[in-house]
Amino acid sequence: MKPSSKNFEFRVDGRSDRARAGRLTTPHGDIQTPIFMPVGTAGSVKGLTSTQLEEIGAQIILANTYHMHVRPGEDLVRELGGLHGFTGFRRPFLTDSGGYQVMSLAALRKRTEHGVVFRSHLDGARLEFSPERSIEIQMKLGADIIMAFDECPPWPATREEVLDATERTARWAERSKRAHTREDQWLFGIVQGGVHDDLREASARAITSIGFPGYAIGGLSVGEPKEDMVRILEVMDRALPEDRPRYLMGVGTPEDLLDGISRGVDMFDCVLPTRNARTGQLFTWRGKMSIRNAKFARDASPIDPSCRCPTCRIASRAYLRHLHLSNEMTGGVLATLHNVFFYLDLVGKARESIVAGRFEAFRKETLLGFSA
């Protein structure tokens, strides 16, 4: 059965081995997949305006339910037109459930079957998140795609701890679905299971049996070895429905994106391009670059001569180095523009190669360039 909600559709336009090129239609526009979603934790991608994001081709951005709840609050956001009206970003939004952030406050939280009681990282105020509360907040925020409330097990964790979190995630997914009433949003279920193949398969069966229009793969890139993440992605590729979008949460490096795309993942988010930009760590088609390096002091060339981003059109490596060493805000902005554009360009070129039926060749060529 095709998932149905108001103004939503997902279709696969092309394949290259297991890689998929798709199109996700939302009330705020179409998203061509595979896609990278810049992270705007507090409703803002650090250093960039909504206009800049749209100009460099951002098709969807992510906001964080927990952070938007503690400040400025979901009621204020709803009053001012939801995330779109509040931020001025006119394209689709996705909100995570807040579960990962709440679970990361290990010293400040107490988890029960009902939900999680914890202390705000801002002022220590007592807060409580449950599946129903998370969905209520996300409906008020008004993102196009929202997430079921889940429990992400820590790394490392015992098998028993992972099993407990995985089974609770399924029970919370059922409650999340019952609480969700907006037809102009898609609610995704989240698969957990750590690095255990059988628990991942069991979680996928449980979550897909509840029935969601899309599925997220949670609990990866939390410290596990790279080979474990790749193996679990192969398990997920076999276990998740072919006709629903697949979202790999919180991942990752450019190499990780290519690994995920080659195993049927459609959507990604990660803070890496923005966080690295603020320290002068830049991504290029020839690998990573530290712009603070002394060898760039008199280098008049752009970050990457093949890049079409606004930064590479106007700024030299020498100028960017100067800005970063001087702690000028402009340096972080220009670096962030470049890094986010690079990630968007990477998935865009990956999509073109899938449609052309040559993704694996593209992946190998790109990885070879990164190591040059």
CA–CA distance from 156 to each of 104, 224, 249, 362 (Å)? Answer: 13, 8, 18, 34
**Which sign, positive or negative, has the C-alpha torsion 191, 222, 272, 122?**
positive
Count CB-CB contacts under 10 A for residue 327. 8
One of 259, 269, 304, 345 is an active-site residue; which one?
Answer: 269
Cβ(187)–Cβ(227) below 8 Å? no
134 Cβ partners below 8 Å, 6+ apart?
A: 65, 97, 98, 99, 149, 176
- To the query of whether residue 256 is one of the catalytic residues in this protein, the response is no
Half-sphere exposure of 142 (CA within 13 A, CB side): 21
**Which sign, positive or negative, has the C-alpha torsion 27, 33, 39, 44?**
negative
The DSSP output letter for 106 is G
Half-sphere exposure of 80 (CA within 13 A, CB side): 12
Q: What is the per-residue DSSP string for 202-219?
A: HHHHHHHHH--S-EEE-S
CA–CA distance from 178 to each of 2, 127, 192, 213 (Å)? Answer: 19, 22, 20, 14
Residue in 112, 100, 241 with CA at minimum distance from that of residue 168: 112
One of 96, 144, 266, 304 is an active-site residue; which one?
Answer: 96
**Which sign, positive or negative, has the C-alpha torsion 290, 296, 300, 306?**
negative
- To the query of whether residue 96 is one of the catalytic residues in this protein, the response is yes
Backbone angles phi, psi at 125, to 5 degrees: -65, 145
Residues with a known catalytic role:
96, 269
